[in-house]
Amino acid sequence: MNPKRIVIIGGSAAGPKTAARVRRLDPEAYITIIERNQDITMASCGYPYYIGGLFDSRDALLETATGVVRNTGYFKNYKDIDVLINTEVTRINRREKNLELSNLITGENSTLPYDKLLIATGSKAKIPPIEGINLQGITPLKFISDADYLRKVRDKKEVKKAVIVGGGLIGLETAEALQLSGIEVSVVELSERLLPFLDREVAKLVEKHCRSKGVNILLESGIEYFMGQNNQLTGVKLNSGVELSCELAVIAIGVTPDSTLAKNAGLKIGETGGIRVNKFMGTSDRNIYAAGDCVEVINSVSGVWDYSPKGDMANLQGRVAADNMIFGDTIRFPGTIGTAIGKIFDFSAGTAGLSETAAEGAGFNVETVLNASTDKPTFMGAKTLISKLTVERSTRRILGYQCVGKGDVSRQIAQGALAIAGEMTLENMMSLDLPYAPPYSLAVDHFLASLHMMDNKLKGLFRGISSHEVYQMHLDRKKGVCFLDLREVDEVETHRLGIGELFIPLSTLRRRLRDVPPQKNTLIVCYCLMGPRSYEASLILRAEGYTNVRVMEGGMMAWPFPREK
């Protein structure tokens, strides 16, 4: 039997992963990677940290764990894989099973046959068709050349002000990188929140943290046009009429699938614009597979087609595609659950599964709970964690989990992702035997405590209210509401909400019930620093006959609004 000819279009993440896996499975195969740019296997998620000076070697973005640069020589010498860089595939000829190629340096055209083909063309940065978009000083952050440009901007220290267009992960990570280098940064976001994959009350905490670091946040704002002189950016005009002066603008409003080549070849394209693949990563042509940012996959929680452009997902899809290209369709890709995480200054923000909004949009009847605590005991250097759990009411199945804070958010999101991917319920997870020692976690881990709170809520023991509802009551000067602060004297002296609250420490509540409004139907909102004391107080008051007692979820730790000092 003749060796298989495996051709891969795209040299970023999914393509090289597929090629390396194919080589391990089939030592005899002829394997070729085609990449239209100069560099391959770039760690693109590392660009903001290179720009920010966390490391100085550009090669670190291209190296293996042992420090070998993954260039054409590496792939040939280590893996016997041919890599054609600066080469573009202009046409896929499915009938003849070959590709038409163009060398972007010499202009030479050629053809290359294949037995099995992988399309891993990745994504394209969204560039809005706005007046002035081509001025010098405006750039996306998509290619390593973009990272090179922004790193030079940082090192030269000539730019004083920058505008980041887009408040997603890449936008905020870039904002941090530039702000830490001494540049005054404004983030302009069209929606009403940063990190739109988060629910409002969680996203508001990220916004508060960014503002505390000196970043100017402008929400519900779009760019009307870019201003410039002598072809050089000088500022932006917002649709609100506000003008921001700047010498640099980074476009970070997301990406779209680069599926044009597949579309021109007659392959099926999905609703999101990505290449439609089956559970084996196969396209509508049985000899062609696709993986990475150019495809759409099923969201395994909602059951709808989703676009999830992430480096880890590209690698996982590439491995599945490689096995099926060699052995036939035997390995299945389970889909995505939308897991993501990012570092924003000394804060982390992550999500897994569906947000409350997305879950309701998918037809689920949901319940949510917000939990604030620390990641470990105070004596071990505790740091904050605030999370939101979303479950289906009828089945108690875990649908979504979000977490932000200065603590170990990654661990929490990983636990949530496993629970969601495994279609676990509260009963499956509430007594899970997780690793515990004081240097690593609380005795009852934050994630498990969130499950316990949800169990209490579904059983009617815990009745919550969001900080947004409480703040709105304050703004509306709603009468007949008692805001009850259960903290101790020394805590209250340090800071308070300043919303007309009644101060009764939990330790004195049973002796001071006479100080609580006597009408048993009074709306009483209990709060403390994180929540446990206000929950205890709510049970005491309910036992005394009060019928409208609520606990402000997350307490003061999750309060994203101004407060008194």
Q: What is the pTM of this model?
A: 0.94
Q: What is the pLDDT of residue 493?
A: 84
Contact criterion met (CB below 8 Å) for 323 and 116: no
Contact criterion met (CB below 8 Å) for 52 and 63: no
* β-pair type (347-353, 340-344): antiparallel
Virtual torsion, Cα 265, 271, 273, 278, nearest 10 deg: -60
Q: What is the pLDDT of residue 224?
A: 97
What is d(CA 219, CA 194) in angstroms, rounded to the nearest whole number?
8
> What is the b/e burial string over 444-470, where b = at least 16 CB atoms within 10 angstroms of the residue's CB?
ebbbbbbbbbbbbbeeeebebbbbeeb
Helix extents (H) in 405-562: 409-421, 426-429, 446-458, 467-475, 489-494, 506-509, 532-543
Q: What is the pLDDT of residue 192?
A: 95
Please state which CATH class domain 340-458 belongs to: alpha beta
What is d(CA 360, CA 342) in angstroms, rounded to the nearest whole number?
25
- Residue 264 belongs to what H/E stretch? helix 260-264
Packing angle of the helix pair 311-327, 14-25 (nearest 10 deg): 30
Q: What is the pLDDT of residue 506?
A: 97
Number of other residues whose CB lies within 10 A of the CB of residue 296 = 24
* CA distance readout (Å), 274 to 57, 286, 310: 34, 18, 14
Domain over 464-558 is classified CATH 3.40.250.10: yes
Strands (E), 318-419: 340-344, 347-353, 366-374, 384-392, 398-405
What is d(CA 47, CA 225) in angstroms, rounded to the nearest whole number?
27
Per-residue pLDDT tens for 193-244? 999 999 999 999 999 999 999 999 999 999 999 999 999 999 999 999 999 9
- Domain ranges (residues) in the chain: 5-123+256-327, 138-253, 340-458, 464-558
What is d(CA 330, CA 325) in angstroms, rounded to the nearest whole number?
10
For 234, the 3-state DSSP assignment is strand
Q: What is the pLDDT of residue 1?
A: 67
Architecture of the structural domain at 5-123+256-327: 3-Layer(bba) Sandwich (3.50)
340-458: same fold as 138-253?
A: yes
What is d(CA 142, CA 343) in angstroms, rounded to the nearest whole number?
18
Architecture of the structural domain at 138-253: 3-Layer(bba) Sandwich (3.50)
Length in residues, the chain: 565
Structure tokens at 121: 């063309």
CA 134 to chain centre: 29
Q: How many CA atoms lie within 13 A of 464 on its CB side?
A: 22
Positive or negative, the Cα torsion across 222, 202, 523, 365?
A: positive
Supply φ then ψ for residue 77, to 5 degrees: -75, -40
What is d(CA 178, CA 508) in angstroms, rounded to the nearest whole number?
50
Quick one: which of 488, 480, 474, 554 has its CA closest to 517?
Answer: 480
End-to-end CA gap in the chain: 78
Q: Which residues in the chain land under pLDDT 70? A: 1, 565
Q: What is the pLDDT of residue 2?
A: 84
